[in-house]
Amino acid sequence: MINQKSIILGFLVAVVLYFAVGLILPAYSVLIAVLLAALFTGYIATRDYMEGAIHGSLVGIFTAVFLIIFILVRSGEAEKIAGLLIILAVLYIGMSVLIGALGGFLGALINQYMDRAPAGSVTGSEEVQKPGSEIQAESEVKEDKTEDKTKK
């Protein structure tokens, strides 16, 4: 199931990172922004790595479309570079989908392997009992008490 809030958050993170990283490394700003935003989206969306990859690729698509529109508006009506812009648009979409899928996959794996500690635990290594096992343990205690009474 697609978590729309995580995709919107990932898209916003990607846009902010694109402009922030663009000041330092303009050539790699798209790659870094999409990878980190997809990693974030995959982490907050799900623990399933396939769904994480889907979420990451959706973030990549939306980010690529936004950046293509931004570049087209910024370049104006430049007829000389129209062909280059079309090739750039196709490359941006393909690259963003692949990198987004990788980032979403990694984010979901990180979420899956993070050991979340129970409330009373310090290390998180204790095993939490399931509700069914508590009920079963209580019924066994009751059976033991009834057996003790019958023996007397």
CA distance 95 to 35: 10
Contacts of 119 (CB under 8 A, 6+ apart): none
| DSSP element (H, E) containing 32 | helix 29-45
pLDDT in tens, 94-148: 999 999 999 999 998 988 888 553 444 343 444 445 555 555 555 555 555 555 5
Give the residue with greater pLDDT, 145 vs 86: 86
Taking each helix axis from N to C terminus, what angle separates 4-24 and 29-45, rounded to the nearest 10 degrees?
150
pTM reported for the whole predicted model: 0.70
Number of other residues whose CB lies within 10 A of the CB of residue 68: 18
Q: From the centroid of its chain, how far is CA 145? A: 51
